[in-house]
Structure 1
Amino acid sequence: MTTFPERVFSGVQPTGNLHLGNYLGAITKFVALQDRYDCIYCVVDMHAITVWQEPEELKKTIREVTAAFIACGVDPKKNIVFNQSQVPQHAELAWIFNCVARLGWLNRMTQFKEKAGKDRENASVGLYAYPNLMAADILAYRATHVPVGDDQKQHLELTRDIAQKFNNDYATSIAAHGYGDTFFPLTEPLIAGPATRVMSLRDGSKKMSKSDPSDYSRINLSDDADAIAQKVRKAKTDPEPLPSEEEGLKGRPEAENLVGIFAALADRTRADVLGDYGGRNFSEFKAALVDLAVAQLGPIGAEMKRLTQDPSAIDAILADGSERAEAIAVETLKAVKDIVGFVRH
């Protein structure tokens, strides 16, 4: 059985303000993983254009997401940080995977149904074939692990299906070219502890989202200390004091959300937080949460502001990362072309 060196790949779309949900759900995990794995972190701008983007705004958000990675503690020297469109092998491999993946597999993708809505005939082909490009993103580096949230599990399963079918379809050619019995790994999900699901500060039943019309529904990573404090103080609550045990949070989505945010930022359990604040009113709890959130997130916003004021420095990081990424992806594509039977020079 072919063994693969452990490598992590993950990507974030550059589609507007990154917020607290992105930070707790993904970026903090990226920072932790870089101490244990060879990591490749990608700003997936080709995925972003599956729905129309204003060109100048897209450039800005690509740089903003890169700045957020770095401000949160991702080291671009230790890891590879780049934007997808600078490495053409992603698109090349995606076409080969378009010819490996089956229509029936893509028809089962729930995210396409959600994003396309009722007017599916009017959705772009890119939005439909998005999961094949995601598989190419991962497998261009023959990545063994991907950190995933609940909404990406189905896409990772498709990546594994594509890798398996490619390995089966071309088994004879893979062996003949000296790659053993498999060429692509069956990438494993990395699920780091209980997922932090961050909900809207205005409605505890909805996920925190950059598309929510109210800026008070989310804490953006670019927010300064005053904005963070104001948003926490205005966050929706209920009239009851905080319970002393987790059971008491049931049916109280806003209370549950704020306790969960406190616990995640403090790296403690919700039971610990309720042990400290159970029985107290929300004004007291929110004051403590303001202090914690400003201490944790304020420096990130300040560093993002500093970084985005120098776009050429961010572009240099992306250029260096894309060069290092392409050096790996080129070798994968050379091998894939040999295996598939293309003639190359």
Structure 2
Amino acid sequence: MNDRPSAHPTGVTRLSGITPSGQVQLGNYLGAIRRWARDNTSGDLYFVSDLHAMTVPHNPAKLRALTRQQLAVLVAAGLPTEALFVQSDLVRELGALTWLLECTCSYGEASRMTQFKEKSNSSTGFRLGLLTYPVLMAADILAQGATEVPVGDDQRQHVELARALARRFNGAYGEVFVIPEATLPPNGARIRDLAEPSRKMSKSAADTSGILSVLDSPDLLRRKISRAVTDNMSRVEYRPDEQRGVANLLDILAACTGTCATDAARDIESYAELKGAVADAVVETLRPVRERTEEILADPAELDRLRAAGAERARQRCAHRLNSALRLAGVG
């Protein structure tokens, strides 16, 4: 499963991350992780961004457990172990680089980040990390020399900040950092909450009744799907604007079976039949990943070995760049 396809064009390094804010859910797997495993090349890097999960109050033991669990899921899904690492294993390197970049970034730039404006307006007790974490994200990108960062529209602004800081640092002190490009990932499955199909399925949702987690048992997956919100129209047709719940179930079925949602609806006559088909497809899609993840988590010494090896490779990739940046800035 870890054989790697042919490499990107020379010099291209693509970086993607996933934050352990909750258990990996079906949308994460179908929309990103499965594609990473299928399409990765020798220039790709993937990391568990556990430091990013600390911008809100968190339970340390839970964060540690979720980080290990996410790393295990990535391995189980077939991502190459030589391309994986955990962000906090580079905390000293990233801490030093983040400080250099914070001293390059203006308050105005940081406070204009959309996510900061939205979340800080809704809370009077927000953490300073909510303001500065886009600079940490810039450090993640620049430390590894990433040339491409596949992100959705909600994160594109953060990559633009990384580009601006890299240019400014290079201009002030000397050429150190690659200027990364934000790229749009291929359209993945857009999975919505089964209990509230007006919102995306999220691993950080407080109510998990509509969330299908990769590690949920088959029985639990079936129960959650059987309770999925539909409507009273009693027709199985793909009408996302009129029938959000039904359309979401058809999107899930299509993503699991490799067809389109309209085609998936054709031979299904009732909501009960639809839910049964979705349950079967989800259980079988997630079964090998869940079982392999459980095997990996049952061998903590091997997971520790894989994690340590990934951390060492990540440190080696960023060492020369970080040392050069510190020296040019006058502190190394």
TM-score when scaled to structure 1? 0.87
Which residue of structure 1 aligns with residue 177 of structure 2? Answer: 184
Higher relative contact order, structure no. (Cα contacts within 8 Å, ≥ 6 residues apart): 1
* Contact residue 241 and residue 282 of structure 1 kept, 8 A: yes
C-alpha distance after superposition, 1:125-173 (max 9, x if no partner): 2221000000000110110112212321221221122222223333xx3
SS of equivalent to 2:81: coil
* Contact residue 142 and residue 184 of structure 1 kept, 8 A: yes
Runs of 5+ consecutive residues of structure 2 not aligned to the other structure? 1-8
Which residue of structure 1 aligns with residue 199 of structure 2? Answer: 206
Which residue of structure 2 aligns with residue 108 of structure 1? Answer: 112
| Structure 1 position 93 matched with structure 2 position 86 | no
* Contact residue 160 and residue 182 of structure 2 kept, 8 A: no
| Structure 1 position 49 matched with structure 2 position 38 | no
* Contact residue 208 and residue 217 of structure 1 kept, 8 A: yes
Instruction: Number of aligned residue pairs: give it.
Output: 323
| Structure 1 position 249 matched with structure 2 position 252 | no
Matched residues in 2 for 1:242 and 1:134: separation?
Answer: 45
Equivalent runs, 1:245-324 vs 2, <5 Å: 246=238, 248-277=239-268, 280-324=269-313
Matched residues in 2 for 1:16 and 1:22: separation?
Answer: 11
Matched residues in 2 for 1:156 and 1:297: separation?
Answer: 32
Change (3 A) 1:33 1:337: farther
Of 123, 128, 131, the match for 1:125: 128
Which residue of structure 2 aligns with residue 165 of structure 1? Answer: 168
Which residue of structure 2 aligns with residue 25 of structure 1? Answer: 31
**Identity level (%):** 34
Matched residues in 2 for 1:292 and 1:52: separation?
Answer: 36
Matched residues in 1 for 2:123 and 2:207: separation?
Answer: 26
Amino acid at match of 1:291: D
Change (3 A) 1:297 1:66: same
Which residue of structure 2 aligns with residue 220 of structure 1? Answer: 213
SS of equivalent to 1:41: strand
Change (3 A) 1:240 1:159: same
- Deviation of 1:4 after TM superposition, in Å, equals 7.4
TM-score when scaled to structure 2? 0.90
Matched residues in 1 for 2:120 and 2:303: separation?
Answer: 33
Matched residues in 1 for 2:23 and 2:240: separation?
Answer: 30
Range with greater deviation from structure 2 (183-192 or 104-113)? 183-192
Of 312, 327, 341, the match for 2:316: 327
Amino acid at match of 1:32: R
- Deviation of 1:119 after TM superposition, in Å, equals 3.2
Change (3 A) 1:52 1:260: same
SS of equivalent to 1:240: coil
Which residue of structure 2 aligns with residue 7 of structure 1? Answer: 13
Change (3 A) 1:20 1:283: same
Matched residues in 2 for 1:157 and 1:266: separation?
Answer: 36
C-alpha distance after superposition, 1:300-338 (max 9, x if no partner): 222222222222222211111000000011111122123
SS of equivalent to 1:217: coil
SS of equivalent to 2:45: strand
SS of equivalent to 1:42: strand
Runs of 5+ consecutive residues of structure 1 not aligned to the other structure? 175-182
| Structure 1 position 142 matched with structure 2 position 145 | yes
Matched residues in 2 for 1:69 and 1:324: separation?
Answer: 17
SS of equivalent to 1:249: coil
Matched residues in 1 for 2:38 and 2:324: separation?
Answer: 32
